Amino acid sequence: MKRKDIHNRKDIEWLVNHFYEKVKGDQQLGHIFNDVAHVDWEKHLPRMYDFWENIILQTGQYTGNPMTAHFRIHAMFPFTREAFQRWLGLFNETLEHHFEGPNTELAKQRALSIATVMELKLLHTKEGGNLI
């Protein structure tokens, strides 16, 4: 299959849908999304379309603070470094299966940044936000 770059909302939706299908069925991550967070996929997926469209194509569609939800979930079921690595691996695998080009590389860089910042904030901070 010839791969193309990410150019529009339709590409973002393909990426997000296929990524989360992998996540839902993943042995390491599926439980967190399905049983701990009880993700309402009908609401979550459009928010993720907006989020990634904003991240990759700078549309300004997304408003919100993803850290709030992740802190809440982390309090119920602590995230691990391995979970962040798995999330990033599945995201990159999904990207590389279908896309290539400058926006695809940007998506990989942004995903790495997001995973790194979330890991630092969730696993390496005390209450009050100071690094341990």
- Please write the tens of the pLDDT for every residue from 58-100: 998 888 888 888 899 999 999 999 999 999 999 999 999 999 9
Residue/partner pairs of 96-103 with CB below 8 Å, 24 or more apart: 97/18, 98/1, 98/3, 98/14, 98/15, 98/18, 99/3, 99/4, 99/5, 99/6, 99/11, 99/15, 100/3, 100/4, 100/5, 101/4, 101/5, 101/6, 102/5, 103/5, 103/6, 103/7, 103/56, 103/57
* Average pLDDT score, the chain: 92
Model-level pTM?
Answer: 0.89
Residue-level pLDDT at 63? 80
- Please write the tens of the pLDDT for every residue from 93-121: 999 999 999 999 999 999 999 999 999 99
Could you give all domains of the chain from N- to C-terminal order, each with its CATH number?
A: 9-123 (1.10.490.10)
pLDDT of 130 strictly over 60: no
